[in-house]
Amino acid sequence: MCSIIGYYGDEIAAPLIVKGLKRMEYRGYDSVGVATESNSQIQLKKGVGKVAEVNFNIQLDTLPGKVGIGHTRWATHGKVTDVNAHPHSSNSGKLAIVHNGIIDNFEQLKKELERDGYVFKSETDSEVIANLLQKNYESVKNVKNAIIKTVLELKGHYAFVAMFEDGQLAAAKFHEPLIVGVGKNSYFLSSDVLGFIEQTDNAIYIENGNFIIIDKGKLQILDFNGKSIKQEIVQISREFADVYKGDYAHFTLKEISEQPDTIFKAGENTKDAINNAANYIKNSNNIYITGSGTSYNAALIAKQVLAKYAKIKTDAIISSELRFSSDTIEPNSTLIAISQSGESADILNAVNIMKKINCKVISIVNSLTSSLARESDIIIGMNCGPEIGVAATKSFTSQIMTIYKITEELCNGTFEINYKEISESISKILENHDQIRHIAREMKDVSDIYVLGRGIHYPIAIESALKLKELTYIHAEGIPGGELKHGPLALMDSNAFVIIINPNDSTYSDTLMSAREIRARGAKIIGISDEKSDIYDYWIEIPKTSETTYPISETIPIQLLSYYAAIEKDADPDYPRNLAKSVTVM
């Protein structure tokens, strides 16, 4: 997944573009590039690396001109090389494009263009857009018809911005985000509001199947048939401006540290939506919950919480798997779709499948303007503010809080959220940096980590393993305690490192027994518990609380452990290798 940006206005474009790209780097960060137009000439610089690094090496921000485009890449087609980085110029050099998404029929289009004499420099699918647009522009002689002709030929999902040598900008949206930031005498075209939030909080969310042209200072929005479209300018919530690290060394640490506050905001201001969601759930014969990665782990928590407290049975399905079991899904059901970004292609695809069989969609989402929010019947905001660190941290605890809030609504007073206890418990654990950093140092060179939990702590164990993998690059696995003797015990020896999630609830004694079995095989044990035990080589204390606080509080030490192990290994915790924040490809 990538980020695209364009600027048209009174100011020099390149520095604004570079700034916007830095803000959107979470979307992809293996290479970066900028192209600008000045005196009817397109100039372009690009290279492999993060925005700051490439800018330092080749000064992207010194390109001249008041119109420009930029891109950060997360490779899908073609290796991470300078040549494959965007922007891509067409053969004539008279236009350049940046693209986010995938062109499914690029091979066929490329062959046809090669037959017409076009030469391709990169291995990307995106370069096809540049040359196809050039070919169509040369044939129809105006930008509007060239874009219409081009989008009719493209298959896949994409948002692209094209810059022409006469300074016109055009951009099209098809199942990838495209937002116009409207400033004073200026326009930004961007994958995310973060691309321009420092300059303007007025935005137009371009609808699917529409494109825009900016020429001579005027913006036109059209549909793919060429019909003019009117769209309102909306004001973006100011909280999106909160994208600075402040005094924190990394966004990940900042976001972990925000959790005593963010848990209060989950589902806030969406009382009606929660009420409506509870009614849908009560009146639906079948309820499915879906998500990817961390959001799927939250779905597993939701399944247990709804069953235990609200006595409601649900099925949790990983979004990328849903299409393979779609024939087993009952039509007219309810789908709870959980996603931080609301832009993951897998979840959007799952939602699409469910809507086709007449299911209602309740989304639990952080970005209320995302594609998922737009596709949903009911939107419940996690409201934890922008999460820039690629690994999900505060969004996970906000997802759990949102699920609790729905459960509270369903339970008519028999389930109560103790916000104060949860917040204080997180704060207490957050005081424990030194001990956790010390353990991270001891753990950083192991090759395998196992995380054990039972009951509701099993999804937390899976989530913990995911966090450890992403941030430390160490193989990690979440295991239900009882399954140990059915296989994983074979892996336990003095080289293994095992994290035992063991709060003092109904799972406590059984999990302690599992810890004993592991200890007997010589593995090192980190116990996360409110009860001290000699079995643990390292004990990370969590406060004694009610049972619904435990899943949230036990998540915090593992987030910190993963963060500090990344630091100890010199890995970048904000931007783990090979990953992107929103995975907009399936």
Does 470 interact with ligand F6R (rule: CB under 6 A)? Answer: yes
CB 584 → ligand F6R: shortest distance, Å? 10
Does position 347 interact with ligand F6R (CB under 6 A)? The reply is: yes
Per the annotation, the verdict on 411 as an active-site residue is no
Q: How far is the CB of 291 from ligand F6R (least distance, A)?
A: 6
C-alpha pair distances (Å), 126 with each of 33, 70, 76, 162, 316? 14, 14, 10, 11, 36
Q: Does 582 bind ligand F6R (CB under 6 A)?
A: yes
Q: Applying CB under 6 A, does 293 fall inside the site for ligand F6R?
A: yes
Interface residue with ligand F6R among 391, 406, 461, 585 (CB under 6 A) is 391
Number of residues this chain uses to bind ligand F6R (CB under 6 A): 15
Among the residues of 209-322, which ranges form H helices? 251-257, 259-265, 271-283, 293-310, 319-322
Q: Quick check: 466 binds ligand F6R (CB under 6 A)? A: yes
Nearer to ligand F6R, 296 or 539 (CB): 296
Sheet strands side by side (includes 334-339): 315-318, 287-291, 334-339, 360-365, 378-381
* 295 is a site residue for ligand F6R (CB under 6 A): yes
| Residue 292 within binding range of ligand F6R, rule CB under 6 A | yes
Q: Which of 339, 369, 423, 548 binds ligand F6R (CB under 6 A)?
A: 339
Return the number of the residue (180 or 466) whose C-beta is nearest ligand F6R: 466
Closest residue to ligand F6R in the complex (CB): 293
Catalytic residue, chosen from 173, 467, 524, 581, is 581
Nearest to 562 by CA among 473, 501, 494, 481: 473
Which residue in the list 2, 46, 359, 524 is annotated as catalytic? 2
281 vs 391, beta carbon nearer ligand F6R: 391
Q: Which residue stretches of 455-507 are H helix?
A: 457-472
555 sits near ligand F6R (criterion: CB under 6 A): no
340 lies in the site for ligand F6R, by CB under 6 A:
yes
| Percent of the chain that is helix, strand, coil (3-state, to 5) | 40, 25, 35
359 is catalytic: no
3-state SS track over 53-121? HHHHHHCHHHCCCCEEEEEEECCCCCCCCCCCCCCEECCCCCEEEEEEEEECCHHHHHHHHHHCCCCCC
Smallest gap, in angstroms, from Cβ of residue 128 to ligand F6R? Answer: 27
Taking the least distance from each CB to ligand F6R, the nearer of 61 and 554 is 554
SS3 state at 40:
coil
The reply to whether 402 sits near ligand F6R by the rule CB under 6 A is no
252 in contact with ligand F6R (CB under 6 A): no
Strands (E), 129-274: 156-164, 169-174, 179-183, 186-190, 202-205, 210-215, 218-223, 234-235
* Shortest spacing between CB 586 and ligand F6R, in angstroms: 12
Among the listed residues 583, 103, 537, 535, the one whose alpha carbon sits nearest the alpha carbon of residue 341: 583
Radius of gyration of the chain measured on its C-alpha atoms: 25
Q: Residues 84, 124, 134, 341: which binds ligand F6R (CB under 6 A)? A: 341
Position 529 contacts ligand F6R (CB under 6 A): no
As a whole number of angstroms, the longest Cα–Cα distance in the chain is: 79
Q: How far is the CB of 470 from ligand F6R (least distance, A)?
A: 5
- Termini Cα distance of the chain: 10
Give me the residues that bind ligand F6R (CB under 6 A), please. Answer: 292-295, 339-341, 344, 347, 391-392, 466, 470, 582-583
| Residues assigned a catalytic role | 2, 581
